[in-house]
Structure 1
Amino acid sequence: MASEKPTCRWGIVSTGFIASWFVDDLALDRPDANVKHVIQCIGSSSLEKGEAFAAKHCPNSKPAIYSSYAEVYADPDVDCVYIGTPHSFHKQNCLDAIAAGKNVLCEKAFTINAREAREVFEAAAKKGVYVHEAMWLRHRPLVADLTKLLHQDKVIGDVFRMSSDFGFYMDIAGLPETSRLKDPKLGAGTLLDIGVYSLTWAILALDPDSPKNSQTPKLLAAQTQKNGVEVLSSVILHYPSSGRQGMITSTTLSDAPSDVVCRILGTEGYIDVTGLAPSHPASFTVYTKKKDGGGFEEASRSNYTDIGHGFVHEADDTALDIAAGRKESPIMPWKETIRVMEMMDEIRKQGGTKYPQDDE
Structure 2
Amino acid sequence: MASSEIPTCRWGIITTGLISSWFVDDLVLPRPDAKARHVIQAIGTSSLDKARAFAAKHLALAATQPALYASYDEVYADPDVDCVYIGTPHGFHKRDCLAAIAAGKNVLCEKAFTLNAREAREVFDAARAKGVYVAEAMWLRHRPMVADLRRLLYGEGGGPKAIGDVFRATADFQMYIDMKALPATSRYKNLELGAGSLLDIGIYSLTWGILMLDPQPPSAPEDPKIMAAQSFVDGIEVTTSVILQYPSSGRQGLILSTTERRGAKPGVIVTIDGTDGFVEVQGNVPSHPEAFTVYPKWEDGADKPQGKRYDYKQAAQGFIYEADNTALDLAAGRKESSIMPWSETIRVMEIMDEIRRQGGTKYPQDE
Query: TM-score with structure 1 length normalisation?
Result: 0.96
Tell me the distance in 1 between the aligned counterparts of 2:281 and 2:65.
Answer: 40
Deviation at 1:5, TM superposition (A): 1.6
Deviation at 1:45, TM superposition (A): 0.2
- Give the structure 2 partner of residue 172 of structure 1: 179
- Give the structure 1 partner of residue 6 of structure 2: 5
SS of equivalent residue, structure 1 residue 297: coil
- Give the structure 2 partner of residue 54 of structure 1: 55
- Give the structure 1 partner of residue 23 of structure 2: 22
Query: For residues 163-201 of structure 1, what are the alpha-carbon distances to aligned partners after superposition, in whole Å with 9 as ceiling and x for unaligned?
Result: 111110110111121111001111100000000000001
Tell me the distance in 2 between the aligned counterparts of 1:294 and 1:160.
Answer: 22
Asked if residue 333 in structure 1 is aligned to residue 341 in structure 2, the reply is yes
RMSD, aligned CA: 1.6
79-88 or 250-259: which moved more? 250-259
Tell me the distance in 2 between the aligned counterparts of 1:296 and 1:289.
Answer: 9
Asked if residue 309 in structure 1 is aligned to residue 317 in structure 2, the reply is yes
User: Which of 75, 78, 88 lines up with 1:75 in the alignment?
Assistant: 78
Tell me the distance in 1 between the aligned counterparts of 2:68 and 2:351.
Answer: 38
Asked if residue 150 in structure 1 is aligned to residue 153 in structure 2, the reply is yes
Deviation at 1:4, TM superposition (A): 1.6
Tell me the distance in 1 between the aligned counterparts of 2:202 and 2:268.
Answer: 16
Asked if residue 300 in structure 1 is aligned to residue 308 in structure 2, the reply is yes
- Which residues in structure 2 correspond to 1:1-360 (within 5 Å)? 4-59=5-60, 60=62, 61-152=64-155, 153-257=160-264, 259-289=267-297, 297-359=305-367
Deviation at 1:289, TM superposition (A): 2.6
Tell me the distance in 2 between the aligned counterparts of 1:150 and 1:210.
Answer: 14
Change beyond 3 A, Cα 1:292–1:55: closer
133-142 or 282-291: which moved more? 282-291
Query: For residues 198-245 of structure 1, what are the alpha-carbon distances to aligned partners after superposition, in whole Å with 9 as ceiling and x for unaligned?
Result: 000100110000312111100000000110100000000000111000
The percent identity for this pair of structures is 66
Gaps of at least 5 residues in structure 2 are none
Asked if structure 2 preserves the Cα contact closer than 8 Å seen for 1:204 and 1:210, the reply is no
Change beyond 3 A, Cα 1:256–1:210: farther
Tell me the distance in 2 between the aligned counterparts of 1:284 and 1:302.
Answer: 5
Asked if structure 2 preserves the Cα contact closer than 8 Å seen for 1:288 and 1:296, the reply is no
Query: For residues 328-348 of structure 1, what are the alpha-carbon distances to aligned partners after superposition, in whole Å with 9 as ceiling and x for unaligned?
Result: 111110000000000000000
Letter in 1 for 2:223: T
Tell me the distance in 1 between the aligned counterparts of 2:307 and 2:230.
Answer: 38
Change beyond 3 A, Cα 1:289–1:162: same
Show structure 1 runs of 4+ deviating over 3 A.
290-296
112-121 or 249-258: which moved more? 249-258
Change beyond 3 A, Cα 1:289–1:296: farther
Tell me the distance in 1 between the aligned counterparts of 2:200 and 2:282.
Answer: 20
Tell me the distance in 2 between the aligned counterparts of 1:325 and 1:24.
Answer: 27
SS of equivalent residue, structure 2 residue 306: strand
SS of equivalent residue, structure 2 residue 305: strand
Letter in 2 for 1:64: A
SS of equivalent residue, structure 1 residue 249: strand
Gaps of at least 5 residues in structure 1 are none
Tell me the distance in 1 between the aligned counterparts of 2:172 and 2:357.
Answer: 21
Change beyond 3 A, Cα 1:20–1:290: closer
Letter in 1 for 2:341: P
Deviation at 1:291, TM superposition (A): 9.5
Deviation at 1:309, TM superposition (A): 2.2
Tell me the distance in 2 between the aligned counterparts of 1:244 and 1:89.
Answer: 35
Letter in 1 for 2:41: Q
Tell me the distance in 1 between the aligned counterparts of 2:307 and 2:290.
Answer: 18
Tell me the distance in 1 between the aligned counterparts of 2:27 and 2:325.
Answer: 13
Change beyond 3 A, Cα 1:292–1:192: closer
314-323 or 256-265: which moved more? 256-265
15-24 or 286-295: which moved more? 286-295
Letter in 2 for 1:251: T
Deviation at 1:306, TM superposition (A): 2.6
Deviation at 1:255, TM superposition (A): 1.3
- Number of equivalenced pairs: 358
